Amino acid sequence: MSRLIFVLNGPNLNLLGKRQPHIYGRDTLADVEAQCRSEAGGLGIDIRFHQSNREYEIIDWIHEARETASGIIINPAAFSHTSVAILDALNAFDQPVIEVHISNIHKREAFRHHSYVSTRADGVIAGFGTQGYTLALRRLARLLDAAT
Ligand code: CA2
Q: pLDDT per residue over 3-55, tens digit each?
A: 999 999 999 999 999 988 889 989 999 999 999 999 999 999 999 999 999 99
**H or E segment at 99?**
strand 97-101
Grade residue 67 by pLDDT with cuts at 50, 70 and 90: very high
Contacts 24+ apart (CB under 8 A), 21-29: 23/102, 23/103, 24/102, 24/103, 24/129, 25/102, 25/129, 25/130, 27/129, 27/130
**Active-site choice (22, 24, 63, 114):** 24
Answering whether pTM is above 0.75, one says yes
| 24 is annotated as an active-site residue | yes
> For residues 128 and 106, what is the distance between their CA atoms, to the nearest angstrom?
13
Grade residue 2 by pLDDT with cuts at 50, 70 and 90: confident
18 Cβ partners below 8 Å, 6+ apart?
28
Nearest to 90 by CA among 53, 119, 111: 119
Residue bearing the CA closest to ligand 1, atom 12: 77
Percent of the chain with pLDDT over 90: 95
Atom from ligand 1 closest to the CA of residue 10: 14
> For residues 115 and 104, what is the distance between their CA atoms, to the nearest angstrom?
12
Q: Is 78 in the pocket of ligand 1 (CB under 6 A)?
A: yes
